Structure 1
Amino acid sequence: MPKGANQKFKLYYLMKIMLEKTDDEHSITMPEILTELERYQVSAERKSIYADLQALEKLGVEVIGEQVGRTYYYHVGSRQFELPELKLLVDSIQSSKFITARKSNELIRKLESLCSEYEAKKLQRQVYVSGRIKTMNESIYYNVDSIHNAITENKKIMFQYFQWNLKKEMELRHNGEMYHISPWGLSWNDENYYLVGYDSDDQMIKHYRVDKMLKIRMSDEPREGKKYFEKFDIGTYSRKNFSMFGGKEERVRLLMDNQMAGVVIDRFGKDVSMVPVDDNHFSISVDVVVSQQFFGWVFALGKGVKIIGPESVVQQVNQEIKRLVEQYNME
């Protein structure tokens, strides 16, 4: 049999065919394998294919042969990623606000290459998340990588920070001056990615929306603030900062209806201590950054929750209520 033009790539194309054309629900026969190889300008005999399928096994591609009647059918068994795992990754990408629509499509196409062409069609799905608006900053994908590189190299980063104005234009903060921050971690909170780092000038921990960072570059200066992060837990930090808005951290006491137990666990985790007050209520003491966003969370729970301490925070709540009454006074 004359050799095809791509004969030296025979094993590669055989692997490609098996991965793309077969899965647990779709198999291929030996004549079909030979036909597919011919499309890649590779000629082969049955005997050599048997040996090549065994070689694929050694390369980590599990090929299962099953006899049905007088015909043998072959398909790839276990893969690096199972279909349910890929579906989960696709759903995460599509529902992630911080990944642009274009970058989402690119990532999903790459995930489709990890399964058969039949399973790939099942990944072409739309996940709808209420209120989701994809970010318009394409560079976030590379911002995250730059931040991780700086953390690995133990260096500060420099960047510009912007906000949107009424004309829907990027407006640089601090007159466009560069921020100099020591990056220590990234937090995914309320559908946004945040850099958590140390500001040497203000000597405090701060956070920044990654999709609002521009022109990130690594500095030659080593990171600072190590002592602040030795026992720092970014997950705890995110729970304290409602919607990542700043404010003063306080130990706040809340009185809650028993039916709010699930809300408490969802927000603060199972380690929070819920102390029974009476048959219908319990109290908790939690560290939170007191802000309007925190008050908004409390108000949204209605009669089910009440701030009972400390007195300074109760006063702030009363001031916020007074402000809302004045703002929406219809008289």
Structure 2
Amino acid sequence: MAKSCNQKEKILFLMRLFQEETDALHPLSRKELEEKLLEYGIRSERKSLYNDIETLKKFGMDIAYRKERPEGYYLANHEFELAELKLLVDAVQSSRFITERKSNSLIGKIEGMASKYEAKQLQRQVVVADRIKAMNESIYYNIDKIHAAIASNQQILFQYFEWTIQKTTRLKKGGEPYQVSPWALLWDDENYYLIGFDVDAGILKHFRVDKMIGIQILEEQRAGKEEFGRFDLAHYAKKTFGMFGGEEETLRIRFHNKYIGVVIDRFGKDVSVRPDGELHFVARVEVAVSEQFFGWMAGLGKDVKILSPTYVADMYVAHLKEIAGVYGSGEQQ
């Protein structure tokens, strides 16, 4: 039989058929494989098709044959299991820092790693209450540039914006760019943050990646290596609430026993705790004291109390009184 013009591409199209159109429940018979190859303009003889399947097996594809109906060949193991792909889709769909358009694009690519039948199971919406997606489409590329700068040991230049009451953006520092040595990326509270050494300020700072615009990689090598060498990234994330900084302090806080899970989730399993009677325990934690930390405390209610240092407890009481004072005047705004 004369060979068709696409014989050299046959094994590549055959690989695509196994990856996209087969799984354990959807095998393809030899005849079906030949018919589908013919749709690509490729004629295939039985012997050559068997040889191609054997070649793909030697290449590493786990092609199996199903004897019970429906009979046929199928790819037994895709690179990712369906359960793993579902986790990836759920993570992308629910991630706040990824824009809606980029989420749809990434999910489409994830679906391409499954058979077309399994891909249908990935086409689902993850229900996340009041999910607000990022609006800065460039975050995807910001992260890539920051990683590149870290890998090449170079500084970056960028502008940084904030929101106004009119719901418009305004550049900080009057539009003057920040020159920063990037050292790490931190994902905290559903946002990406850059931990970097601010060259002008001479200190380590964190920046929300979705608020960075116009990132440029500079020729200058990174500064602040010694400062970052003393920096404990995991510890920083645990003690900083909502990534708002504050004076660092070691606190002793008394909790009801029902909050032990909350404390471990927030400060880690190695947090220092000791029983305090039958119903309470005292935790010793390092915290960046801020209004966000006080907000976390208030959310746990009356079963939580700062024992020491007393000046932080006094600050917390003053904070609560100040909030209560807004409602105590009897005025309606």
TM value normalised by structure 1: 0.96
CA contact (8 A) 1:187 1:235 kept: no
**Secondary structure of the equivalent of 1:220?**
strand
Q: Work out whether 1:46 is the aligned partner of 2:46.
A: yes
Q: Give 2:12's aligned residue.
A: 12
Q: What amino acid maps onto 1:63 in structure 2?
A: I
Shift of the alpha carbon at 1:228?
1.9
Give distance in 2, aligned partners of 1:29 and 1:81.
Answer: 24
Q: Work out whether 1:329 is the aligned partner of 2:325.
A: no
Shift of the alpha carbon at 1:72?
4.8
Deviates further, 225-234 or 274-283: 225-234
Q: Give 1:203's aligned residue.
A: 202
Q: What are the superposed Cα offsets for residues 84-116 of structure 1, whole Å, 9 maximum, x if unpaired? A: 111100000000001001111111111111110
CA contact (8 A) 1:2 1:43 kept: no
Q: What are the superposed Cα offsets for residues 107-150 of structure 1, whole Å, 9 maximum, x if unpaired? A: 11111111100000011011122232001100000000111111
* Structure-to-structure mapping, 1:313-324, within 5 angstroms: 313-324=312-323
Give distance in 2, aligned partners of 1:159 and 1:103.
Answer: 22
Q: What amino acid maps onto 1:66 in structure 2?
A: R
Q: What are the superposed Cα offsets for residues 262-297 of structure 1, whole Å, 9 maximum, x if unpaired? A: 111111111001111111111111111111110000
Q: What amino acid maps onto 2:99 in structure 1?
A: T
Give distance in 2, aligned partners of 1:77 and 1:258.
Answer: 49
Q: Give 1:59's aligned residue.
A: 59
Give distance in 2, aligned partners of 1:231 and 1:178.
Answer: 27
Q: Give 2:153's aligned residue.
A: 154
Q: What amino acid maps onto 2:203 in structure 1?
A: M
Give distance in 1, aligned partners of 2:40 and 2:4.
Answer: 8
Q: What amino acid maps onto 1:283 in structure 2?
A: V
* Structure-to-structure mapping, 1:1-331, within 5 angstroms: 1-68=1-68, 72-331=71-330
**Secondary structure of the equivalent of 1:274?**
strand
Shift of the alpha carbon at 1:330?
4.2
Give distance in 2, aligned partners of 1:210 and 1:102.
Answer: 18
List structure 1 runs of 4+ shifted beyond 6 angstroms.
none
Give distance in 2, aligned partners of 1:269 and 1:211.
Answer: 27
Give distance in 2, aligned partners of 1:120 and 1:30.
Answer: 24
Q: What are the superposed Cα offsets for residues 67-90 of structure 1, whole Å, 9 maximum, x if unpaired? A: 238x85111011211111111000
Give distance in 1, aligned partners of 2:150 and 2:136.
Answer: 22
Q: What are the superposed Cα offsets for residues 130-177 of structure 1, whole Å, 9 maximum, x if unpaired? A: 232001100000000111111111111111000111232221010000
Shift of the alpha carbon at 1:255?
0.4
**Secondary structure of the equivalent of 1:243?**
coil
Deviates further, 99-108 or 223-232: 223-232
Shift of the alpha carbon at 1:3?
2.8
Percent identical among aligned pairs is 49
CA contact (8 A) 1:150 1:156 kept: yes
CA contact (8 A) 1:139 1:211 kept: yes
**Secondary structure of the equivalent of 1:255?**
strand
Distance change >3 Å, CA 17–CA 161, structure 1 → 2:
same
Give distance in 2, aligned partners of 1:64 and 1:304.
Answer: 60
Q: What amino acid maps onto 1:45 in structure 2?
A: E
Give distance in 1, aligned partners of 2:234 and 2:33.
Answer: 51
Q: What amino acid maps onto 2:135 in structure 1?
A: M
Shift of the alpha carbon at 1:190?
0.8
Shift of the alpha carbon at 1:317?
0.7
CA contact (8 A) 1:182 1:197 kept: yes
Give distance in 2, aligned partners of 1:54 and 1:15.
Answer: 12
CA contact (8 A) 1:250 1:289 kept: yes
CA contact (8 A) 2:204 2:228 kept: no
Deviates further, 226-235 or 87-96: 226-235
Shift of the alpha carbon at 1:189?
0.8
Deviates further, 227-236 or 139-148: 227-236
Q: What are the superposed Cα offsets for residues 5-64 of structure 1, whole Å, 9 maximum, x if unpaired? A: 322200000111111111122111111000000000000011111110011112221100
Give the gaps of 5 or more residues in structure 1: none
Give distance in 2, aligned partners of 1:202 and 1:21.
Answer: 57
Q: What are the superposed Cα offsets for residues 175-205 of structure 1, whole Å, 9 maximum, x if unpaired? A: 0000011111011111111101112333322
Shift of the alpha carbon at 1:231?
4.2
